[in-house]
With several copies, the nearest count.
Chain A
Amino acid sequence: MPTSRRCSVSKPADPLPSRWPRLSPLAFALTMAALALVIASVGQVAPTPGQLVDGGPSLVRLVNRMSPPNLDPAFLTRIFWRIVETFQIAIAGAAIGIALSLPIAWFAARGVGPLGNVGAFLSKAFISFLRTVPDLVWALLFVATVGLGAVAGTMTIVVDTIGFCGRFFAEAIEDSEKEPQEAISAIGGNRLSILFGAILPEVMPSFVNTSLFALEKAVRSSVVLGLVGAGGIGQELKAAFDLFQYRNASTIILVIFLIVLGMEWATDRLRRKVQ
């Protein structure tokens, strides 16, 4: 400080730190390789702006073909019941999936979970595995186990939800602020105490977001439920396209959009509640 005796001793020649972070040669090479890969890929398969501009008329044609949406009351009633059916399965599947994701994500969170780093890796691998095995295989398995229908549909959604929520919950847990956790640990709290005392309050908004996204995904997903003969709004949409009933399809899309918007709104409200 200039006015104090300290000032005189502060070496005037403290060097400016280098502008760029110092990377190890390996890290540098990897970064460059990744960049080159991205650029090469983008160069080969990205659309040119001209192509995009040309798309205007096709867009108009497509929209024309899809409008006006079919608002026939009988059709709307059918759609309504399909949505009820979908929601029932989606809510149950997402709720069970979210509940199961919580402990699994805790196990999978490095440095936080109770199983150590190896356990965390294995849990992460398990979550990835649930995600990698295609829906069709789960469908086969569940059809063989519990038969065709809503129960198998629920289980397929459970698996999908764990594959998704498990990863994002674990990430939120790993990224949550360390200080309050340290504080509880210093008082003698165990890992469970840290989880419930410090981590959960902190990650709640992120969990709400992930969970409601999982629910939304379950409602939107068209493939999964059909595979096990469970039907739902997604099937109706697929059927509309298969029969080239574009006006029916646009009605269904609009309805789903309204639902998604509603859930977006609910997510926002809930997140502000737990903020």
Chain B
Amino acid sequence: MLDLSPARPSTARGALSDPIVTTGGLRKSYDRKTEILKGIDLTIRAGERVALIGSNGCGKSTLLRCLIGLHEVSAGEVTALGETFTGLPAGAQKARLRRKTGFVFQKHCLVRRRSVLSNVIHGMMSEPGSWRAFSQMTAPETWRRAALEALAWVNLADKAAARADALSGGQQQRVAIARALVRQPALLIADEPAASLDPVSGQDVMALFTRLCAEHGITLLFTSHDMSHARSFADRIVALKAGRVLFDKPADTTTDADIEEVFRVEAR
């Protein structure tokens, strides 16, 4: 739950804080034929906002999912929030890791037969007394209020009682964002959070992320196909290409040529 009172001091840009996510030689293949990630070395420090860019199918979602053990890592090591694992994290490790992570999926993955509010309350599932987060019927009053507040952040408080599948595509996306934010995660991973949002909502959501990161020291890792978002809302841009990190630069030193290089198609 976001505790809004004494904002933790946000990590100053530039000053090197502790690494919060580190991958060492991370490789991933779904089948024997093709390797999607061919050795990714990445370090994300506490309080940073990192944008991950790359063309369709280059492995951005795959990388994000590997970080919290949603996919098995084929080789290499991941350290996230103090948990180090190869392959898949062990049960207890996974629980500790995910308790401090918020994850927004590319496919928003709401439970469609439940209300919007229930879906946001699901974000509390790793709090103590987690069974009360099963739905809005069982949730304690404080959680219900917190969920409604999170919905207000993404401008959907008036849809709280609607069924999740009665929302438009962009609205569903925003519910998924509220679900990831309702509890204060140390690390927020968002896979194309603004993809189906209208221009203003997209800006708003990215601004919301920035504000929360600043106020609560949240670390943000997001992917985007909107280069203006990557450039203006991230401290650092990491570009993937052909399974490797093409570049990893501060956002303000990334040039148009760099970006063009990311999406240029080489002769195969």
Contact = CB atoms under 8 A, between A and B. Distances in A.
Interface stretch (A6-14, A93-101, A126-134, A137-145): A6-14
B99 interface: yes
A268 interface: no
Nearest to A5: B265
B111 A180 contact: yes
Nearest to B207: A3
A185 B126 CA distance: 9
A16 B155 contact: no
Interface of B: 68, 70, 95, 98-103, 105, 107, 109-115, 117, 122-123, 125-126, 130-131, 133-137, 144-145, 148, 151-155, 157-158, 160-161, 176, 179-180, 200, 203-205, 207-208, 210-211, 265-268
B38 to A, nearest CB: 20
A216 interface: no
- The 8 A-B pairs at the shortest CB distance, nearest first, are namely A188-B126, A17-B161, A189-B125, A14-B157, A183-B109, A188-B98, A196-B134, A1-B204
Given A2-B211, A16-B145, 6 more contacts: A10-B155, A180-B109, A180-B112, A184-B111, A193-B130, A197-B122
A186 interface: yes
A6 B102 contact: no
Nearest to A22: B161
A179 B122 CA distance: 14
Interface stretch (A50-58, A157-165, A198-206, A240-248): A198-206
Given A1-B204, A190-B95, A196-B134, A201 B265 contact: no
A11 B160 CA distance: 13
Nearest to A14: B157
A19 interface: yes
A16 B148 contact: yes
A274 B113 CA distance: 8
A202 B70 contact: no
Given A180-B111, A184-B125, A187-B180, A1 B99 contact: no
B152 A14 contact: yes
B133 A1 contact: no
A88 interface: no
A258 interface: no
Contacts of A180: 109-112
Contacts of A190: 95, 125-126, 130
11 contacts: A1-B153, A1-B204, A3-B204, A17-B115, A180-B109, A182-B70, A183-B176, A184-B122, A196-B134, A201-B114, A204-B113
Given A187-B126, A189-B126, A197-B135, A202 B111 contact: yes
B145 A6 contact: no
Contact of B208 (A2, A19, A179, A189): A2
A4 interface: yes
Contacts of A10: 152, 155, 157
A31 interface: no
A155 B166 CA distance: 43
Interface residues of A, number: 37
A201 B152 contact: no
A1 B155 contact: yes
A202 B111 CA distance: 8
A9 B102 CA distance: 27
Given A20-B137, A193-B131, A197-B134, A182 B109 contact: yes
Contacts of A4: 200, 203-204, 207-208
A192 interface: yes
A275 interface: yes
Nearest to A200: B134
B110 to A, nearest CB: 7
Contacts of B207: 1, 3-4
A16 B137 contact: no
A17 B120 CA distance: 13
Contact of A193 (B134, B144, B145, B154): B134
A3 B208 contact: yes
A16 B140 CA distance: 12
B265 A1 contact: no
Contacts of B68: 186
B98 A179 contact: no
B103 A187 contact: yes
Interface string A215-236: 0000000000000000000000
Contacts of B145: 16
B137 A188 contact: no
Contacts of B158: 11, 14
Contact of B125 (A18, A193, A202, A204): A193
Interface in A3-44: 3-6, 9-12, 14, 16-20
B117 A188 contact: no
Contacts of B110: 180, 183
A198 B111 contact: yes
